[in-house]
Structure 1
Amino acid sequence: MSVEPIAYLEWAKLRSQAKISLSRSGVPDLSLRDLPLALEVGELEISGRNPYGYEPLLEAIAHRYGVAVENVVLTQGASQAIFMVCAGLLEPGDRVVVEKPAYEPLLSCPRFFHAEIMRLERRFENNFLVDLDDYRRLLAQGAKLIILTNLHNPTGVFLNREQIKALVAEAEKAGAYLFIDEIYLEFMSDELSRSAFGLSDRVIVASSLTKVYGLGGLRCGWILASPEVAQKMRQLTDYLVVEGVFIGEVIAARLFPYLDQLRQKNRGWLEANQQLVRNFITAEPKLSWVEPAGGVVCFPRLEAGRSGDEFSQRLRLEAEVSVVPGSFFELREHFRLGYAVSSAQLATALEAIHSLLQKW
């Protein structure tokens, strides 16, 4: 079996490093010292019973979403969730609709299972929203699965409740599953961050503790699905990891009561940083954007057809500032900029971007 590399993840792991990294798409990672609860080594065990997940963690996730434990499948991060959804649902030749621009694993995973990919264009001119007519046209071609992100990666665009309901209704009519990666959704306010899960048995969602909470080292992700679909994906655990990391699941379970506190702690400085970026792009004639509704990334476009890949490379080499080349999201005239860094670092990085644009 041929295994194609996921180019973006290889780049992010091995070639994105810089003095100031604006390539990350989540808040900074927390250390043990930063956690809002005291963890004594003596009270933690390396091993314990977690056959398909540590029960208190499964219960904590279910409680947060108001669902049954039977709806919850634990994963090692949301990227593994994408793989498991595709593995659990797809046969070779099945038709899958994937948004464009897209986070690369959303494409790589269904391709790995030899699905036929159809693209749902989310266009700059339409504020990167989903065109319902395009969506219906693709469903009519026999799609089994639709894959979207909300907030959209890489743009930060938000699909509101009514827009999501319209997409769910069309998927139900067509007998397709709608899978939404919601890993960025809790950057939104409580009112706006309601999950799409529960709108239909055809809806599957995934999320994790990584992007919003800075707890990526725990590798705590999950899928929410109907009990029947969830059971299919739960069985994949025995093929992939057998069991999760017990001590990590215990720590994650203990942190769930503090998630809202962690989210609130980050809100003020993230809003201030978004304002810095907003002011910068508004004043910069060589850049345009669709302003993100929330989150910590945006997807500026270079004017006059200039290459975001070349710009990203020069910015890293000349100013030691890293942003994500747009080709990783299939739009070469763009780059993805993350702003979950200190305000001082962000100001320095934006000045470096301005300086390069002036002479480029």
Structure 2
Amino acid sequence: MVEIAGFGVEAWLNEWETTAHYDISQSTIASLTLAELVALDPSAGAQLLTDIKKSKLNYGHIEGSSAFKQAVSQLYDHMPAENILQTNGATGANHLALYALLNPGDHVIAEYPSYQQLYDIPKSLGAEVDFWPIEETRDWQPSLAKLKELIRPDTKMICLNNANNPTGTVLDRSFMKQVVAIAKTVGAYVLVDEVYQPLTADLDYKSIVDLYERGIATNSLSKTYSVPGIRIGWTASNAEVADIFRTFRDYTMICGGVFGDVVATYVLQHRDQVLARNQELVGRNLKILTDWVAQEPRVSLAIPQMVSTSFPRLEIPEATEPFCLRLLKETGVLLVPGERFDLPGHVRLGYCAPTQVLQTGLKLLSEFLRQYD
């Protein structure tokens, strides 16, 4: 029987998110409504609604429509549209890549902690997984020296989450070029879940597929683009890897759904408007968060770089999981305890909730923390 660990963060949210009044646990930038999407471009929005109404409810385009694939390809420097494969969110993209490329006994190096799929799915497939730890003393950056220690002649894949979930730490182009140089010494794939795009021009950020022929990027519209409900993601890779994925993809899904494809294409074609809206929200909410941290004596934080997730440390005399459960039941505020990422003493705080929700949630959290003063 295949064995796999319980998915910590998903199990927590599945149990508690519907009961929260002030959900500041999520890592999505405040989700858009269909009405808000239509309002981005009223003329094109009206056409979007017409297209949805006229869509035949068949399987649609199996790999994603040509318009979708072309829109995704434009997110990268030199990525042919035919190398893009639509998936069921980034979770589907990660699963496809790992399922297609890893075999029992393969050696995998995984950034840890990060999105749990990136190390526990390889383990479940029988791969030998070494953890590449992120370090709080380095603002949650992993050490390149440690990666050099871990790399082996038989290393098949290096798995990363850039930006990192839950910390929001970004590995910039310079860092990633050094990761690529290490991977090249043994011909390893580098798989990077890139759902958290930093919304700042001050950071030199590059997709792995723009840096490395054996790089594989997974992504979706769930986080940076604020439409998790359509469940559309993708893989981007070289042509050889895309053909491998095609074979395995037939066993994991048929299509992303005709409505999802239509909305996803519209969002990508209007990505400038979506990102402008989200950049303003992230900037405003990040200032609210950092101002709050500055005046809250029991909280410290490695400031995320305009990424939608944060991971503050709480100085409290109890474990964070029971604390978070009491906080929810007594105030309606939801956080994700660090135990769900194997980092107790911290919480994932989704500061990109609607601004009023964030402000109220932080106020109630401060009041709750006063019990320890």
1:134 equivalent in structure 2: 146
> Structure 2 residue aligned with 1:228, among 236, 240, 251?
240
Alignment map for 1:272-291 (pairs within 5 Å): 272-291=284-303
Cα distance in 1 between the residues matched to 2:362 and 2:23: 12
1:120-164 residue CA offsets vs partner (Å, 9 max, x unmatched): 111101111120110111113742111111111111111111111
Give 5+ residue unaligned stretches, structure 1: none
Alignment map for 1:202-213 (pairs within 5 Å): 202-213=214-225
Considering only aligned residues, what root-mean-square deviation do their CA atoms show, in Å? Answer: 1.9
> Structure 2 residue aligned with 1:74, among 74, 82, 86?
86
1:279-329 residue CA offsets vs partner (Å, 9 max, x unmatched): 111222222121111212211112367422122112111111000010111
> Structure 1 residue aligned with 2:212, among 183, 197, 200?
200
Q: How many residues align?
A: 360
2:281 equivalent in structure 1: 269
Cα distance in 1 between the residues matched to 2:284 and 2:210: 34
Local SS of the residue matching 2:349 = strand
Cα distance in 1 between the residues matched to 2:266 and 2:332: 38
Amino acid aligned to 1:282:
A
**Preserved contact between residue 292 and residue 362 of structure 2 (Cα < 8 Å):** yes
Cα distance in 2 between the residues matched to 1:247 and 1:318: 39
Local SS of the residue matching 2:192 = strand
1:242-292 residue CA offsets vs partner (Å, 9 max, x unmatched): 233123213322332101111101222221111111011122222212111
2:63 equivalent in structure 1: 52
Cα distance in 2 between the residues matched to 1:186 and 1:264: 12
Alignment map for 1:9-48 (pairs within 5 Å): 9-17=10-18, 18-35=20-37, 36=40, 37-38=45-46, 39-40=49-50, 41-47=52-58
More displaced 10-residue stretch of structure 1: 218-227 or 133-142 = 133-142
> Structure 2 residue aligned with 1:94, among 81, 100, 106?
106
> Structure 1 residue aligned with 2:75, among 64, 72, 84?
64
1:331 equivalent in structure 2: 343
More displaced 10-residue stretch of structure 1: 86-95 or 196-205 = 196-205
Quickly say closer, same or farther: Cα 1:48–1:123, change in 2 above 3 A: closer
More displaced 10-residue stretch of structure 1: 127-136 or 185-194 = 185-194
Cα distance in 2 between the residues matched to 1:217 and 1:193: 27
Cα distance in 2 between the residues matched to 1:189 and 1:206: 22
Cα distance in 2 between the residues matched to 1:93 and 1:236: 19
More displaced 10-residue stretch of structure 1: 302-311 or 124-133 = 302-311
- Note if 1:172 corresponds to 2:174: no
- Note if 1:320 corresponds to 2:332: yes
**Preserved contact between residue 95 and residue 144 of structure 1 (Cα < 8 Å):** yes
Cα distance in 1 between the residues matched to 2:263 and 2:301: 39
- Note if 1:353 corresponds to 2:365: yes
More displaced 10-residue stretch of structure 1: 185-194 or 106-115 = 185-194
**Preserved contact between residue 198 and residue 305 of structure 2 (Cα < 8 Å):** no
1:109 equivalent in structure 2: 121
Cα distance in 2 between the residues matched to 1:188 and 1:76: 27
Cα distance in 1 between the residues matched to 2:53 and 2:317: 59
Local SS of the residue matching 1:28 = coil
1:222-257 residue CA offsets vs partner (Å, 9 max, x unmatched): 111111111111222210112331232133223321
Local SS of the residue matching 1:96 = strand
Amino acid aligned to 1:9:
E
Amino acid aligned to 1:33:
A
More displaced 10-residue stretch of structure 1: 192-201 or 312-321 = 192-201
> Structure 2 residue aligned with 1:249, among 261, 269, 288?
261
Amino acid aligned to 2:97:
V
CA apart distance, 1:48: 6.0
Local SS of the residue matching 2:290 = helix
1:156-192 residue CA offsets vs partner (Å, 9 max, x unmatched): 1111111110111111112211111110025343964
Cα distance in 2 between the residues matched to 1:134 and 1:222: 30
1:85 equivalent in structure 2: 97
| TM-score, with structure 1 as normaliser | 0.94
Give 5+ residue unaligned stretches, structure 2: none
Amino acid aligned to 1:2:
V
CA apart distance, 1:201: 1.3
Identity across matched positions, percent = 30
Quickly say closer, same or farther: Cα 1:343–1:163, change in 2 above 3 A: same
Cα distance in 1 between the residues matched to 2:202 and 2:296: 33
2:355 equivalent in structure 1: 343
More displaced 10-residue stretch of structure 1: 58-67 or 328-337 = 58-67
Local SS of the residue matching 1:311 = helix
**Preserved contact between residue 54 and residue 246 of structure 1 (Cα < 8 Å):** no
| TM-score, with structure 2 as normaliser | 0.91
Cα distance in 1 between the residues matched to 2:367 and 2:230: 39
Cα distance in 2 between the residues matched to 1:344 and 1:304: 26
Cα distance in 1 between the residues matched to 2:290 and 2:33: 30
